[in-house]
Amino acid sequence: MSSVVESASVHLLCFERNGSCYRTLHPFGIQLAIYLICAMGMLLIVLGNLLVVVSVSHFKTLHTPTNFLLLSLALADLLLGLTVLPFSTIRSVEGCWYFGDDFCMLHTFLDTLFCLTSIFHLCFISIDRHCAICDPLLYSTKFTIRVACIYIAIGWGVPVVYTSVFLYTKAIEEGLAQFLQDMPCVGSCQLLFNKLWGWINFPLFFFPCLIMIGLYVKIFVVATRQARQIDNMNNQLGATKRERKAAKTLGIAVGIYLLCWLPFTIDTMVDSLVNFITPPVVFDVLIWFAYFNSACNPLIYVFSYRWFRKAVKLVLTCQIFCTRTSTIDLFHE
């Protein structure tokens, strides 16, 4: 009888060894449904952001500083869907990490990198929209392609350096020994499971969010005042409407980002104060809610930007393989 119980318990473990994590057991139907939902989410993230990347890259009329920032943002979300989420899906459904410690480190690195890159880019897009609305006469000279490229380099470079230091530098880990907690079990892929990690990550997400909120409040006030001033200036009305529409759309994108990411970010910080008591199921729901943000931006563009709908139509009908389409004016009504 004891051998039967022992055999059954082994099958509940991620690995047949002492200290192994336990698998999360779901009925087959529920497990299949979760896999299908995650697969559909990944497909939406990959295809939606791929459309943004192809559209902005192909159509010359979209080669603007703002759209280059959108392109870089979409690239980060696309890479998240391709390289991170397939393995996160298996870990979330099975409750186990089957891919080894080295790949666990790389997976955590890429996950943190792409998420930090996204918020940096949204912050820079907020600065761009602030310049366009609040200082329109000097915008074209202040926010150039070169400036956008510098922002893109910072938006990728800072997350790469930050994540590399905290994940791959042993000196940091040794210096934070008093903060480290023992790994709960083998096969969990929880790196740098410490209090300081949560406290450092929180301001990296929260302060850029405060900057974005402040900028968009000012943008809203200025745009409202401008709308009153130009009621009788028909020759400038179209361009101004376009700028205000862009600011409103990107403001929605920032709002959705906050909605998706703040619950996970706050939980990470609070959880570090109470010895990490968040149930794994709750943690998985929060992180997948945050991942869902990567699928939102392309959907926002589809419903908000006429030029993006035109670009998507040309891409899906394979008309982009005709070189002449690259010079089409997507803003022409």
Joined tokens for residue 128: 């761009």
Tell whether 11 is covered by a domain: no
Segments forming the whole domain that contains residue 83: 26-326
**How many other CB atoms are there within 10 angstroms of residue 228's CB atom?**
7
Q: What is the CATH number of the domain that holds 117?
A: 1.20.1070.10
Tell whether 224 is covered by a domain: yes
In the block, tokens 């982009």 appear at 320
* Closest to 45 in 3D by CA, of 325, 294, 318, 252: 294
User: What pLDDT does 227 receive?
Assistant: 63
Task: Tell me the average pLDDT of the chain.
Answer: 79
Residue pair 265/206 in contact by the 8 Å Cβ criterion: yes
Tell whether 230 is covered by a domain: yes
Bridge partners (DSSP) of residue 13 are: 22
Tell whether 254 is covered by a domain: yes
Residue pair 116/159 in contact by the 8 Å Cβ criterion: yes
Q: How far apart are CA 333 and CA 329, in angstroms?
A: 9
Tell whether 19 is covered by a domain: no
Q: How far apart are CA 121 and CA 154, in angstroms?
A: 9
Tell whether 14 is covered by a domain: no
pLDDT over 80 at 26, yes or no: no
Q: How far apart are CA 122 and CA 260, in angstroms?
A: 14
Q: How far apart are CA 251 and CA 79, in angstroms?
A: 23
Q: How far apart are CA 196 and CA 188, in angstroms?
A: 20
Question: Which residues lie closer than 8 Å to 163 by C-beta, 6 or more apart?
Answer: 109, 112, 113, 116
Q: How far apart are CA 242 and CA 261, in angstroms?
A: 29
Task: Give the count of domains, the chain.
Answer: 1
User: Average pLDDT, stretch 153-172?
Assistant: 83
φ/ψ of 102, rounded to 5, equals -65, -45
Better-predicted residue by pLDDT, 189 or 123: 123
Residue pair 68/53 in contact by the 8 Å Cβ criterion: no
Tell whether 278 is covered by a domain: yes
pLDDT (tens digit per residue) in 30-73: 888 889 988 998 999 999 999 999 999 988 888 989 899 999 99
Better-predicted residue by pLDDT, 22 or 234: 22
Tell whether 319 is covered by a domain: yes
